[in-house]
Amino acid sequence: MVALLRYTRRLEADVRSTFAPLATCSLLGLSLSGCFGLQNNVTSETGVFGDSGMSAALADSATPTTVALSGKLYVIAPADLNLVDPAGLNDLFHAALKDNVLVYVAQESQTSLTLDLSLAGSDGKQNPCEKVRTLPTAQWENPTFVAGPGEMDVSFAGTPATLRHLTVSGTFDQYAFNWRDGSLTAQLDGRELSSALGGADACTLVANAGGSCEACDDGVVACVTLTFAGVVASQSNDSYDTSPTCQ
Q: If we measure between CA atoms, which residue out of 190, 194, 185 comes closest to residue 227?
A: 185
Tell me the torsion sign for CA atoms 53, 186, 141, 27.
Answer: positive
Cα separation of 44 and 30, whole Å?
9
b/e for 203-236, b at 16 or more Cβ within 10 A? bebbeebebebeebeeeeebbbbbbbbbbbbebb
The mean predicted confidence, pLDDT, of the chain is 78
Please report, as a single letter, which amino acid is at residue 188. Answer: L
Note the pLDDT tens digit of each residue in 25-63. Answer: 333 333 333 333 333 333 333 322 233 333 343 445 579
pLDDT (0 to 100) of residue 218: 95
Residue 116 CB coordination number (10 Å):
20
| 5-28 per-position pLDDT tens digit | 343 444 344 433 333 333 333 333
How is the chain split into domains, by residue range?
Answer: 2-59, 69-236
- pLDDT value for 20: 37
**Phi, psi values for residue 183, rounded to 5°:** -135, 155
Greater pLDDT, 74 or 209: 74
Sign of CA dihedral 189, 195, 197, 201: positive
Q: Please compute the mean of the pLDDT values over residues 69-96 and round it to a whole number.
A: 90
For residue 69, pLDDT over 90 is answered with yes
Angle, vertex CA 133, rays to CA 229 and CA 237, nearest 5:
75
- Rounded to two decimals, the pTM is 0.72
As a whole number of angstroms, the distance between CA 233 and CA 223 comes to: 27
Q: What pLDDT does 44 receive?
A: 31
Reported as a single tens digit per residue, the pLDDT across 106-152 is 999 999 999 999 999 889 999 999 899 999 889 999 999 999 999 99
Q: What is the pLDDT of residues 176-230, one digit of tens each?
A: 999 999 999 999 999 998 877 878 888 998 999 889 999 999 999 999 999 999 9
Count Cβ atoms below 10 Å from residue 150 Cβ, excluding itself: 19
What's the confidence (pLDDT) of residue 154?
A: 85
Most confident of 58-62, 92-96, 151-155: 151-155
* Mean pLDDT value of segment 74-85: 92
First to last CA, the chain: 81
How confident is the model at residue 200, as a pLDDT? 82
Distance (Å, whole) CA 113 – CA 121: 25
Whole-number pLDDT of residue 243: 92
- For domain 69-236, say whether CATH 2.20.25 is its number: no
pLDDT for the residue 61 = 52
Interval 126-137: pLDDT, tens? 999 989 999 988
